[in-house]
Structure 1
Amino acid sequence: MVPCNPGSLGHPSLCTRPCIYVAKNGACHVEGCNFCHMIHDVPVMKLNQRQRYVLQKLDVKEKLDVILAAVRAGLDREGLTHEAGRLLQLLEEEASNHAEHGLLRSHKKQVYDLRKALMRMSLADSIKSFEDVLPNQVLESFQDLRQRYQAKAPRNQSRRFCS
C-alpha cells in the first residue's frame, strides 16, 4: 500500500496525527499536508499539563532515558524492534553521551507517570515530544523507519481518505 501523503507514512503506529480536515470534512485540500489521511481507530494520546511541566523540568539525560524507554516499549508493542535497530542504537549512544544526574525523590512518581503516558502514545507522537533534545541523525533514522514500514491497515481503508 502506498500512502497518499507524507503524513500517512507508517500508518497506524508511525504516522503523524490525523488530519483535522479529513476528520471533519472527509477531504483535505491543503497542498503538502503532513498529517495522516487514513482512519485512526484509537484517539490521539496527549501529555497533560503536569506531564508537560515534568518533561520541561527534566535534564537532557533524563529526557533521553525516558524517550528511550518509551520508544523501546512502542517498538516492542508494534513488533518493530528488529527493524529499528539503528534508531535504538543512536538513542542509546546519545543517552550515554550525557552525565547522570540524580532525580529528586519527589519527582520519581511524576516521571513514572510521564513515562507511562509516553508509552501509551504513538511512536511518532513520543518522538515529536522530544524533538528539542534529539539529534538530527535520530530524527532521520525515525523518518527512514517510517518510510520502510509496511502499513498494517486493512485494504478497504487504505485509500478512503486520500485526496
Structure 2
Amino acid sequence: MARFSATTESEAVVQAPREVIWQALTDPELLPRLTPFLESIHADGDTWCWQMTRIPVVGIDLVPAFTERMVFDEPSRIDYHHAPPPGTRERTGVDGWYVLTEQGPDATHLAISLTVTVDLPVSRLASPAVTTAMRGVMATMGKRFAANLVQHVGARG
C-alpha cells in the first residue's frame, strides 16, 4: 500500500445570499445531488459518513467511504477532518474547509480547499500517474459541483 494525496482550492463569487449557500453546504441529503460521484452522506451530529460511487484511478476502481468530523461556524465557515471511528481504518480521507463571505445582500464569496488522501495497492513509483488522475477527478467534480450549486441556489451566471 502506498499513500497518495491531492489538493484543490477554488473560489468564486456566487450571486446568492450567504444563508442560501450555507443551507446547501450543510444539507447531507442535498449534497449528493450536487456532487458528482457522491452517493450518500449519513450524518450523525457532527460526524458525517460519506459514501462515494465507483471512481476509476489508474486501472483501479475505488468505491471510497470515509468519515469526517464536521465543524460548523455558522454562517461563515465549515471545516472537515478525516476522523474514522475508533478501531477502524479507512483507505480514503478528506480534509478541508469552506469559507463564505458576504459580498453584498445577494452575493457570496465562496472559497473551498480540500485535500484527498488515499491508500492504494500500487507502488509509490506510480505517484505521478495516480496524483494526475486524482487531480483530474477532483477538477471534474469541482466544476460539476459548482455548476450544480449555482443552479440550485438560482444564481445568475
Shared fold, TM over 0.5: no
Instruction: Indicate the structure with greater strand content.
Output: 2
| TM-score, normalization by structure 2 | 0.28
Question: Which protein has greater RCO, CA pairs closer than 8 Å, 6+ apart?
Answer: 1
